[in-house]
Amino acid sequence: MRAPGAESHRGDIEDLDSLRSGAASADGVIHTAFNHDFSKFVANCETDRRAIEAMGAALVGTNRPFIITSGTGMGARPSGEPATEDTFNADHANPRKASEIAGAAVALQGVNVSVVRLPQVHDPVKQGLISPLIEVARHKGVSAYVDEGLNRWLAVHRHDAARLYLLALEKGLACSRYHAVAEEGIALRTIAYVIGHGLDVPVQRIAAADAPAHFGWLGAFVGVDLPASSALTQQRLAWRPTGPGLVADLEAMRY
């Protein structure tokens, strides 16, 4: 990495000293790391909060950009309308809100913080929460959806997400939020049918009451409908997602 003008710095999201020193020596920080062991989701959200506070402390007074990561659900509106970039629901039940609360706290110290909110990030190998959904279908022998399966999951190809982080780093404004949403709502039933075809297993409707037993920890997510818009992000950063789409990547993957 030295030839193109960069040096690597190894660290860990629980090694706060390493995070501080890495942030202190960087021209800008893009924080995407997160422990996706959802069996201890609340604890992992607290780990992320501490990581953001540590890196933010190293950036006070520098005006160097600090991009943190959250989820599109943090912009949910009580009306049920699509989540937007200008909305943050600090009372949201999702503990992932700790990341944005920490970002706001370091912003008050003068740090140049902005947020990229992610949906399901995909390519033909991994697809966010859909990857464990595939494993459940493989294990159970059926690809399931909840109730009518009309709840919507959002998606973005990883290349489009990466370009948005770069735009946020180079052109983003402090205290701004950006939505990396290329597809604003794909019905879970549609996803289930694509998975069923890929695994050659039947597709089955599961009642909401039976979702925890069937899906395990995924049961808390599979019935949720959280539409979100990226219209303001596209307008403010001239971000134009180009795909491929989620279904295309699911159809292209090796099951």
3-class secondary-structure state, position 115: strand
**Quick check: pTM over 0.85?**
yes
Residues making up the chain, counted from first to last: 255
- Please state, in angstroms and as integers, the Cα–Cα distance from residue 2 to each residue in 23, 35, 214, following that order: 18, 29, 49
In this prediction, residue 89 carries a pLDDT of 81
Closest by CA to 55, choosing from 81, 10, 19, 4, is 19
DSSP-assigned letter for residue 122: E
Give CA–CA dist 82/70, Å, rounded. 16
In this prediction, residue 2 carries a pLDDT of 64
Residue with tokens 């913080």: 113
DSSP-assigned letter for residue 50: H
Q: Tell me which fold the domain 16-252 belongs to.
A: Rossmann fold (3.40.50)
Handedness of CA 50, 53, 56, 60 (dihedral sign): negative
Residue with tokens 């190998």: 125
Amino acid at 248: A
Give CA–CA dist 23/27, Å, rounded. 8
Residue with tokens 């520098």: 62
Joined together, the tokens standing for residue 67 give: 């991009």
Q: How far is CA 230 from the centre of its chain?
A: 14
Per-residue pLDDT of the chain (255 residues; tens, 9 = 90+): 566 677 888 889 999 999 999 999 999 999 999 998 888 999 999 999 999 999 999 999 999 999 999 999 998 877 778 999 999 988 888 899 999 999 999 999 999 999 999 999 999 999 999 999 999 999 999 999 999 999 999 999 999 999 999 999 999 999 999 999 999 989 999 999 999 999 999 999 999 999 999 999 999 899 999 889 999 999 999 999 999 999 999 999 999
Domain layout of the chain by residue ranges: 16-252
In this prediction, residue 4 carries a pLDDT of 67
Give CA–CA dist 106/59, Å, rounded. 9
DSSP letters of 159-178? HHHHHHHHHHHHHPPTT-EE
